[in-house]
Amino acid sequence: KAGVTQTPRYLIKTRGQQVTLSCSPISGHRSVSWYQQTPGQGLQFLFEYFSETQRNKGNFPGRFSGRQFSNSRSEMNVSTLELGDSALYLCASSSGQGTGYTFGSGTRLTVV
Partner 1 sequence: AQSVTQLDSQVPVFEEAPVELRCNYSSSVSVYLFWYVQYPNQGLQLLLKYLSGSTLVESINGFEAEFNKSQTSFHLRKPSVHISDTAEYFCAVSDGGATNKLIFGTGTLLAVQP
Contact status, residue 104 vs residue 3, Cβ threshold 8 Å? yes
- Kindly state whether residue 101 participates in binding partner 1, applying the rule CB under 8 A: yes
Q: Give the span between the Cα atoms of 43 and 110, in whole angstroms.
A: 17
Of residues 22, 19, 18, the one with CA closest to residue 9? 22
Instruction: Candidates 18-26, 43-51, 63-71, 72-80: pick the segment binding partner 1 (CB under 8 A).
Output: 43-51
Q: Tell whether residue 42 is a contact of partner 1 (CB under 8 A).
A: yes
Q: What does the per-residue mask of binding to partner 1 show for 44-83, with x meaning CB under 8 A?
A: -x--x-x----xx---------------------------
Where on the chain is the footprint of partner 1 (CB under 8 A)? 4, 6, 31, 33, 35, 42-43, 45, 48, 50, 55-56, 90, 92, 94, 97-106
